[in-house]
Amino acid sequence: MQDAKMSGREETAPETRPGGSLPSRDDVAEQQKRTKTIYIVYVIAALDITWMFLQFSVTPYLAKKLGFNTLWFGYLQTTVGVIQLCGGPMFGRFGDIFGARAALSLACSSTVVFFLLLAIAENPAMLFIHKLPTIFMHVVPACQMVVADLSAPEKRADALSKLGLCFGVGMIAGSTLGGHLNTRFGETFTAGFGAVGSTFSLLLVLKFIPKTTKSQAPTPGRDSENKSKSIFNVGEITRLLKFPGVKRTFLVKIVAGLPSGIFQVMFSIIALDFFKLKPEQNGYLMAYFGIASMVVQGGVVGRLTARYSESSLLLLSIGVSSFVGLAQAYMQDVFQFCLTVVPMMFSLSVFNVITDSMLTKSVPPSDTGTMMGLCASVQSLLRTVGPTVGGFMYVNYGISSIGLLQFVVNIAVFVHLLQRHLRKTPGHQE
């Protein structure tokens, strides 16, 4: 019943006409404006991912120069997770209250400060301090909010998957560029380059992003009530967990995503310590990740979401992820790892797109920003727990323990969801 209500509210957006009549000239112009905004958002997302992967070419090597071991690098990553875990939901609510332009401007400005602090980090304390701006560095969730606001419900998963395509572009550009700049000019120059690039992203936001992207008619008393409340109102944020299906999807997102999240946050150390890669070689490997991501996001995910149900695709992604973990548990070199990259990117891409799509469809359009903030907080939670747990497992039991954990946990979640899916099927057929 709740889904029907929300579906109805979203389907009466300006791009459609009541009664099935042809859209007017104003409707066509409005749809073109929305499409242009979405394309600009894709560019901003690709640039942000570029700067972030450029940063990944700096931090591990700078940390090693400053005397960080694997455990302390894990603490550094955990610090980022804790900060973003606190900031994600508040940032999402900030976007719902003050609009897309304000949210993206805050996120890009924080990224500029982040890189400037990284450029002057000359001791371990400064390396921790430069992570403080990450509390507002939620460019990708803000972009997801805009895309969710401007896309039709039936096309939302496909539109969100295109952000994953931007992720692949940014991964290739950022990793390759960061590896070359760090090798030739050092960490300080590379960080300064990231600050300049983030400033350019900020200018794009100020020039092209509208003040708000919410299209539904305001609910009497509701919007004024929301705007009078603080962005720190925990009740307004946790209220979304009471909508049907939200809490269960969140639990799946956390439990199934934790093992792969541990591997992701530990990969910088794995590349440096286990594979013995130099900065430039690491850049090439990350570029390979990006190519695989682009192929999956651009050519596979959109077609799958158009043909199969979200519950079936969720099952598929978790099943593939479990066998990826098993393969990574027994890999011995970079070549063997590269064989697991395509199925790994497939499972991660489908899992994140489907869960985000399911969650945004479960809440009113006025709360998509807060919901994306909560989704970001799930990733932050994984980054909070992941480095500490991953560092402990890697130091004491080796890389195979991380892969085996992913296999066991995802198989358990897969079996649980499959049983639930099979129990529902006869009822739907009747």
Q: Which amino acid appears at position 396 of this protein?
A: N
pLDDT at 388 (0 to 100)? 75
Q: What is the pLDDT of residues 213-247, one digit of tens each?
A: 876 544 434 444 444 456 666 777 778 888 888 88
Residue 425: per-residue pLDDT: 59
What is the mean pLDDT of the segment spanning 167-180? 83
Per-residue pLDDT of 366-379, as tens digits, reads 787 888 888 877 77
Higher pLDDT residue, 90 or 317?
317
pTM of this structure? 0.72
Six token digits for residue 217: 């008619």
Q: Which domains does the chain have, with CATH numbers?
A: 31-214+236-429 (1.20.1250.20)
DSSP letter at 174 equals H
Closest to 415 (Cα-Cα) out of 244, 252, 183: 252
Note the helical H segments in 57-65.
Answer: 59-65
What does the pLDDT read at residue 21? 53
The rounded distance, in Å, linking the Cα atoms of 162 and 185 is: 33
Span 246-276, pLDDT tens digits: 888 889 998 998 888 888 878 877 887 888 8
What is the rounded CA–CA span in Å between residue 299 and residue 165? 9
Say whether 222 sits in a helix, a strand or coil.
Answer: helix
Cα 268 from Cα 346, distance rounded (Å): 20
What is the Cα 380 distance to its own chain's centre? 10
What pLDDT is stored for residue 11 in this prediction? 40
Name all contacts of 303-307 with Cβ < 8 Å and 24+ positions apart.
Answer: 304/350, 305/157, 305/158, 305/161, 305/353, 305/354, 305/357, 306/158
Instruction: Kindly provide the residue ranges of all beta strands, DSSP E only, lying in 330-397, ordered along the sequence.
Output: none
Q: Would you state the torsion angle of the CA atoms of residues 231, 233, 236, 240, taken in this order, to the nearest 10 degrees?
A: 80
Structure tokens at 176: 């390759």
What confidence score (pLDDT) does residue 238 get? 76
Higher pLDDT, 202 or 141: 202
Q: Would you say 236 and 93 are in contact if contact means Cβ atoms under 8 Å apart?
A: yes
Q: What is the pLDDT of residue 5?
A: 39
Instruction: Please give the Cα distance from 371 to 380 (Å, whole number).
Output: 14
pLDDT category, 8, cuts 50, 70, 90? very low
d(CA 291, CA 215): 35
Label residues 99-113 b or e (16+ Cβ within 10 Å = b).
Answer: bbbbbbbbbbbbbbb
pLDDT, the chain, mean:
81
Write down the residue that tokens 């991912």 correspond to.
Answer: 49
Q: How far is CA 400 from CA 84, 177, 392, 397, in A?
A: 29, 31, 13, 7
CA 31/CA 128 separation, integer angstroms: 45
Contacts 24+ apart (CB under 8 A), 301-306: 301/157, 301/158, 301/161, 301/164, 301/349, 301/350, 301/353, 302/157, 302/158, 302/161, 302/162, 304/350, 305/157, 305/158, 305/161, 305/353, 305/354, 305/357, 306/158
Q: Among the residues of 209-309, which ranges form H helices? A: 222-228, 234-238, 246-269, 279-296, 302-307
What's the rounded Cα separation, in Å, for the pair 244 and 300?
29
The neighbour count for residue 252, using CB atoms within 10 Å, is: 18
Give the SS3 label for residue 69: coil
